[in-house]
Chains A and B, each alone.
Chain A
Amino acid sequence: MTDSQGHDGGAQHRRLDAVWANWPGWRTLAAVNHTSIGLRFMLTGVFFFLVGGVLAMLARTQLALPAQDILSADVYNQVFTMHGTVMMFLFAIPVLEGLALYMIPKMIGARDLVFPRISSLGYYCYLFGGLIILSSLFVGQAPDSGWFMYTPLSSAEHAPGMGSDFWLLGITFVEISAMAAGIELTVSILRSRAPGMTLRHMPIFCWYILAMALMIVFGFPPLILASVLLELERAAGMPFFEVAAGGDPILWQHLFWLFGHPEVYIIFLPAAAVVSTLIPVFAQRPIVGYRWLVLAIIVTGFISFGLWVHHMFTIGIPKLAQAFFSVASMLVAVPTAIQLFAWLATLWTGRVIRSLPMLWIFGFLVIFVCGGLTGVMLALVPFNWQVHDTHFVVAHLHYVVVGGMLFPLIAGFYYWLPHFSGRMSTPVLGALGFWLTFIGFNATFLLMHLTGLLGMPRRVYTYEAGLGWDWLNLLSSVGGFVMAAGIALVLLDIALHFRFGRPAGRNPWNADTLEWATNTPPAPYNFASLPALDTRHPLWRQPELLQSIPAGEHGLTDIRHGRRETYGTEAVSGRLREVIHLPGNSWLPLLGALMLAVVCVSLLVRIYPMALLGVVGAAVFLLRWGWENGAHPRAAPLTANEPDNPPLHSRTCDGPGLWGMWVTLMANGTLYLSLLFGWFYLWTAAPQWTTPETLSVDRVAMVAAGLVLTGAVVAYGRLVRALCKGRATFLAGGLLLVTTLGCLHLAVVLWALLGAGLTPTEHAHDAMLLVMFLYLLFHAGLATVLSLLQALRVRLGYVGVRLPYEPVVLRPLWLYTLAVYWLSVALFLFLPAAWGAGG
């Protein structure tokens, strides 16, 4: 009986594997599977962590004794800038994204993320962008203005080399991966949970990751905009941050910290997710205060967008604003304290199992609580005026990010090691690694608070003897090397466990969450059958899942069609809606990312024709990617016996693609709002801003173009409504009409732009207008091209009455294009004139 079941299971496994496995050998680079991509993210992240660590050791060597010149000022400035940049952008965020990409589908009972090719694209953008940034060190032109790149220090005048360009272009390239992860994690969590898993049945880990993903969606666009503007200033001379031409360097600080502070929580929340996942497992009881935690997570997300100015208390901002941001900065302690006491209460009520992961969690507690408390201190404005920009802040931020991110991350690595490798780690070496890291860290940074209070500013390459800083710096440097030794031991321990660790078997920690129901290491499809769930603790409440899932006793076991599939469910209720068919291995993400790398490098070395070629290449590959969707032969062509209960998602008028479009537009909208913020900020606050007496843009033409665009969008909306009601008589013709109107609109806007005679290199006002125009042209152009392709797809039978999905997905883009168009015309072209007339 069991034999025959095992046999059946084996055959089913082979069938699933044939569809889901990565291609062998070097062709594995075409993998899109979330397990592979997640692991690659994490491994690459660890590599960059080591790079950042070596840079830190260089800096600590230089500062160990006063008046040393092991590193020159020039090299030291590159070293600390790259240390911060690498750790923040190339280690902390990507490694946590990797963990989330790996874990989320397994926790919510899905087979993959909903946009697998985007996972792959994100990974390659991260890898290539990271390598481009890293290469700056080897050509001796690393960025050297500090990791927050304040202008004018990072501007063309004061940083004439390529360093700033490496940072701005490379980071923007890497941010594609963050945006990709943010969007697909959001949609996957909301739309592909196991049937029956309502939002309140979601593991707490998923709540944290959902919050993180949404914070990426809203948090990164200001940085992307700021980087684009600064690069435009450097490369094309558009003076957004130059006082004499009507710009303002403070705008950079606002945009940077609008991103920068949420960023701290973007890396803290997933780490806290690890803590909230591990504590109940090792206390062997459900987390106390689940609802409080969810509330705390959401509140953290909101508050973190309201306290960016606390990085700018010394720039001389108005008293009232300081009070507001001071209070907001302190208030964020409340949700953090709620989480802390929920963890404490969980431990208090459980019988705690001692283990290596819990040791790291203890380290997290000690360090992070200290960092949180010094954070509240720093939020107090008068105290901030004293210690801002000193080593006190350096100590504080390391307590927060190392305590709040690295320690939980390593706890999580140890906890999930059996999942990655199928083996348990050894306790002795691991504990030694922990204590060395913990003691080394505190020796480095606890003392550094005092160094700062004794007046040592950050970012100085050396200091004179006899200021009371000597012994502190020496001990900090020794501590730094002790910590490095600890990290080396941890890595050694993890490397050795692949060889010597004992096999783990299934669910070795007796955990409650579904990721432990996979094989260890997991099969590429995670689960042989997809169960329905109605509990937060599936493996505690229904331990039989460990057998019934691989035995194929649950849903979606039919694989004869050869498609990768997972369930699509409703966002709140988790009710089963559709079967999402997913793309398999594909070269398109890699090719697209390579083309984008060509663009990045060409812009860096300023060979613009090659950049243009890269843009065209990237567009071709990305459009081809969109082509292999829906009923395309490589996706899910129509067949005689279509599944209809539930249907395939591309046969419906709602699906993950539509959600992905909306989430992308939310990010895009944030980018646009950041642009509006910049416009109004410069207008009201830049010391030498000028609005020209008469606007040179032909506003009549712009209104006319807007009316044409409105016509296109209305026509498109009617087509989609009819299509979803089952009428498609005029579909191809209608789409061609929309395309024609789109082209007309583009032509008129282009004409208005060319006729306006803007001088974007002389006035910040005109530079802003030009960016606004380019933004509008890009969106209208994209929507037009995609509509034309839709018309072609109708002709080829990929879109139609039975396949209404793609035109539905495209509709929000048209609506968005229309909305930003009229907003821009009103706020950029009409409002200043009305203001001038009124005043």
Chain B
Amino acid sequence: MFAHRRLWSAVAWLTRPRVAVLAGLAHVCLLTGCAGEYSTLDPAGPSALAVSWLWWGMLLAFGLVWFAVIGLWLLAVRRDPGDVSDAQAQRLQNRWIIGGGLVLPGVSIAVLLAFGIPVGHGMLPLSADEDVLRIEVTGYQWYWQVEYPDAGVSLEDELHIPAGEPVHIHLRSNDVIRSFWVPRLAGKLDAIPGHENVLKLQADQAGVYRGLCAEFCGLLHADMGFTVEAHEREDFEQWLSDAARDD
């Protein structure tokens, strides 16, 4: 019993200051280090925003678990247990293994899925009958071919989308597998020869967002960057009709 209380006080001792440290770190990071043109921690669209919250939550919870386990280990190595009878060891075994080995991961997984599944669901493309702008993007070694089939517009390494609403990117590849990713807006999705994948993309504000190829695609993999420019709705309409005329 005594050992038990000491254990928890040890856990409390180990975790209390570190919560503050972690929260502080997160704060500092948000203000300074997390910005960046490709930063998932500087989200500019609903999908990326939801995932960034998942990240901060998991960082906090798992950070606590990490420090608690290390603290327990250090304590266990340093303490003198006296004579532990087999019966005591047996009780301890059951408590720790069931508590730490079954309950802890079980609860963590349940909580994680409870938050994660709705987020994942929200990132999926909308159903086919919804009226969403369709953009077709095809990977080549080493550039992205961008098509607006309804308007007959064709571009390279450059997408334009209306801000504040979702668009569907239909991904294909002409040669090898690659992955289309605009980190500040949404997760990545592969472009695979012979298959078509649909990615939902949304930028909350007008602006230029950078994207890249995440799946290794050969010699110039590092040079497969592209931009996504989000316009206000009217500006986008204007851009599209201008572009269609130019073609």
Q: Which residues of the partner chain B approach A385 to less than 8 Å between Cβ atoms?
A: 51, 120, 123, 186-189
* Inter-chain contact total with CB atoms closer than 8 Å: 265
Given contacts A158-B175, A315-B192, contact A370 B36 (CB under 8 A): no
Among B29, B40, B214, max chain A CB count under 10 A is at B214
Is residue B240 contacting chain A, with contact meaning CB distance below 8 A? no
Is residue A358 contacting chain B, with contact meaning CB distance below 8 A? yes
A333 to B117, CA, bound (A): 19
Bitwise interface map of B from 196 to 226 toward A, beta carbon under 8 Å scored 1, else 0: 0110000000000000111111111110000
Q: Which of B38, B113, B216 contacts A145 (CB 8 A)?
A: B216
Is residue A11 contacting chain B, with contact meaning CB distance below 8 A? no
Question: Nearest chain-B residue to A459 (Cβ)?
Answer: B216
Q: Which of A331, A334, A453, A460 contacts B41 (CB 8 A)?
A: A453
Is residue A348 contacting chain B, with contact meaning CB distance below 8 A? yes
Among A341, A370, A382, max chain B CB count under 10 A is at A382
Q: Which of B37, B97, B117, B177 contacts A341 (CB 8 A)?
A: B97
Is residue B108 contacting chain A, with contact meaning CB distance below 8 A? yes
Bitwise interface map of B from 85 to 102 toward A, beta carbon under 8 Å scored 1, else 0: 000110011001101111
A393 to B112, CA, bound (A): 19
Bitwise interface map of A from 144 to 177 toward B, beta carbon under 8 Å scored 1, else 0: 0110001011000110000000000000000000
Q: Is the CB of A467 within 8 A of B97?
A: no
Q: Is the CB of B101 within 8 A of A337?
A: yes
Q: Which of B29, B54, B66, B214 contacts A457 (CB 8 A)?
A: B214
Q: Is the CB of A345 within 8 A of B194?
A: no
Is residue A232 contacting chain B, with contact meaning CB distance below 8 A? no
A468 to B40, CA, bound (A): 12
Q: Is the CB of A344 within 8 A of B181?
A: no
Q: Is the CB of A344 within 8 A of B76?
A: yes
Q: Is the CB of A77 within 8 A of B219?
A: yes
Q: Which of A292, A326, A349, A365 contacts B70 (CB 8 A)?
A: A365
Q: Which residues of the partner chain B approach A366 to less than 8 Å between Cβ atoms?
A: 70
Q: Which of B40, B65, B99, B188 contacts A454 (CB 8 A)?
A: B40
Q: Which of A384, A462, A686 contacts B222 (CB 8 A)?
A: A462
| Chain A residues numbered 722-774 whose CB sits less than 8 Å from any CB in chain B | none
Q: How far is the CB of B48 from chain A (nearest CB, A)?
A: 7
Given contacts A249-B193, A376-B62, A457-B213, contact A288 B69 (CB under 8 A): no
Among B99, B108, B109, B198, max chain A CB count under 10 A is at B109
Q: Which residues of the partner chain A approach B119 to less than 8 Å between Cβ atoms?
A: 382
Among B29, B123, B212, B216, max chain A CB count under 10 A is at B216
Is residue B105 contacting chain A, with contact meaning CB distance below 8 A? yes
Q: Is the CB of B112 within 8 A of A380?
A: yes
Q: How far is the CB of B1 from chain A (nearest CB, A)?
A: 15
Q: How far is the CB of A377 from chain B (nearest CB, A)?
A: 5
Q: Is the CB of B113 within 8 A of A377?
A: no
Question: Nearest chain-A residue to B124 (Cβ)?
Answer: A319
Q: Is the CB of B175 within 8 A of A389?
A: no
Bitwise interface map of B from 20 to 51 toward A, beta carbon under 8 Å scored 1, else 0: 00000000010001111111110000011011
Given contacts A319-B124, A382-B54, contact A150 B187 (CB under 8 A): no
Bitwise interface map of A from 365 to 393 toward B, beta carbon under 8 Å scored 1, else 0: 11001100110110011111111111000
Is residue A338 contacting chain B, with contact meaning CB distance below 8 A? yes
Q: Which residues of the partner chain A approach B186 to less than 8 Å between Cβ atoms?
A: 385
Q: Is the CB of A349 within 8 A of B81?
A: yes
Q: Is the CB of B40 within 8 A of A73?
A: no
Q: Is the CB of A341 within 8 A of B62?
A: no
Is residue B245 contacting chain A, with contact meaning CB distance below 8 A? no
Q: How far is the CB of B245 from chain A (nearest CB, A)?
A: 34
Is residue A456 contacting chain B, with contact meaning CB distance below 8 A? yes
A456 to B183, CA, bound (A): 10
Q: How far is the CB of A78 from chain B (nearest CB, A)?
A: 11
Given contacts A349-B89, A455-B40, contact A334 B102 (CB under 8 A): yes
Q: Is the CB of A460 within 8 A of B221?
A: yes
Q: Is the CB of A453 within 8 A of B76?
A: no
Q: Which of B41, B66, B177, B179 contacts A249 (CB 8 A)?
A: B177
Q: Is the CB of A349 within 8 A of B84?
A: yes
Given contacts A389-B188, A468-B36, contact A457 B181 (CB under 8 A): yes
Given contacts A73-B222, A383-B55, A385-B51, contact A373 B65 (CB under 8 A): yes
Is residue B5 contacting chain A, with contact meaning CB distance below 8 A? no
Q: How far is the CB of B127 from chain A (nearest CB, A)?
A: 13
Q: Is the CB of B54 within 8 A of A380?
A: yes
Is residue A196 contacting chain B, with contact meaning CB distance below 8 A? no
Given contacts A292-B93, A386-B183, contact A348 B76 (CB under 8 A): yes
Is residue B77 contacting chain A, with contact meaning CB distance below 8 A? yes
Is residue B104 contacting chain A, with contact meaning CB distance below 8 A? yes
A285 to B183, CA, bound (A): 51
Q: Is the CB of A349 within 8 A of B88?
A: yes
A745 to B193, CA, bound (A): 42
Is residue B149 contacting chain A, with contact meaning CB distance below 8 A? no
Is residue A289 contacting chain B, with contact meaning CB distance below 8 A? yes
Q: Is the CB of A243 within 8 A of B51?
A: no
Q: Is the CB of A146 within 8 A of B116?
A: no
Given contacts A383-B58, A455-B40, A457-B214, contact A152 B176 (CB under 8 A): yes
Is residue B80 contacting chain A, with contact meaning CB distance below 8 A? yes
Q: Which residues of the partner chain B approach A315 to less than 8 Å between Cβ atoms?
A: 190, 192, 195, 197
Q: Is the CB of B48 within 8 A of A386?
A: yes
Is residue B79 contacting chain A, with contact meaning CB distance below 8 A? yes
Q: Which residues of the partner chain B approach A456 to less than 8 Å between Cβ atoms?
A: 38
Q: Which of A243, A341, A347 contacts B99 (CB 8 A)?
A: A341
Q: Is the CB of B97 within 8 A of A382?
A: no
Q: How far is the CB of A362 from chain B (nearest CB, A)?
A: 7
Q: Which residues of the partner chain A approach B36 to less than 8 Å between Cβ atoms?
A: 454-455, 467-469
Given contacts A352-B76, A352-B77, contact A323 B117 (CB under 8 A): yes
Q: Which of B51, B66, B97, B109 contacts A345 (CB 8 A)?
A: B97
A559 to B220, CA, bound (A): 66
Is residue A248 contacting chain B, with contact meaning CB distance below 8 A? yes
Question: Nearest chain-B residue to A362 (Cβ)?
Answer: B73
Q: Which residues of the partner chain B approach A333 to less than 8 Å between Cβ atoms?
A: 105, 108-109
Q: How far is the CB of A250 from chain B (nearest CB, A)?
A: 7
Q: Which of B84, B116, B141, B190 contacts A382 (CB 8 A)?
A: B116
Question: Nearest chain-A residue to B218 (Cβ)?
Answer: A153
Q: Is the CB of A158 within 8 A of B218?
A: yes
A8 to B213, CA, bound (A): 73
Is residue B72 contacting chain A, with contact meaning CB distance below 8 A? yes
Q: Which of A250, A323, A383, A389 contacts B54 (CB 8 A)?
A: A383
Q: Which of B34, B69, B97 contacts A369 (CB 8 A)?
A: B69
Is residue A314 contacting chain B, with contact meaning CB distance below 8 A? yes
Q: Which residues of the partner chain A approach B92 to less than 8 Å between Cβ atoms?
A: 288, 345, 348-349
Q: Which of B40, B105, B212, B220 contacts A386 (CB 8 A)?
A: B40
Q: Is the CB of B70 within 8 A of A338?
A: no
A-B contact pairs, 24 of them (CB 8 A): A74-B219, A150-B177, A158-B175, A158-B218, A288-B96, A292-B97, A292-B101, A296-B101, A319-B124, A322-B120, A327-B109, A337-B105, A344-B100, A350-B81, A354-B77, A373-B66, A382-B50, A382-B54, A382-B123, A383-B55, A386-B48, A453-B55, A454-B33, A454-B36
What is A's interface to B at a CB cutoff of 8 Å? Answer: 73-74, 77, 145-146, 150, 152-153, 157-158, 243, 248-250, 285, 288-289, 292, 296, 314-316, 319, 322-323, 326-327, 330-331, 333-335, 337-342, 344-345, 347-352, 354, 358, 362, 365-366, 369-370, 373-374, 376-377, 380-390, 450, 453-463, 467-469, 686-688
Q: Beyond the given A352-B77, A389-B215, A469-B36, could you list 17 further A-B residue pairs with CB under 8 A, ordered by the A residue number?
A: A152-B193, A249-B177, A249-B193, A249-B194, A250-B195, A292-B97, A314-B188, A315-B195, A330-B105, A341-B99, A344-B73, A347-B77, A385-B51, A450-B33, A454-B38, A458-B216, A463-B222
State the 5 A-B residue pairs at the shortest beta-carbon distance, nearest first.
Answer: A385-B187, A455-B38, A243-B194, A338-B101, A341-B100
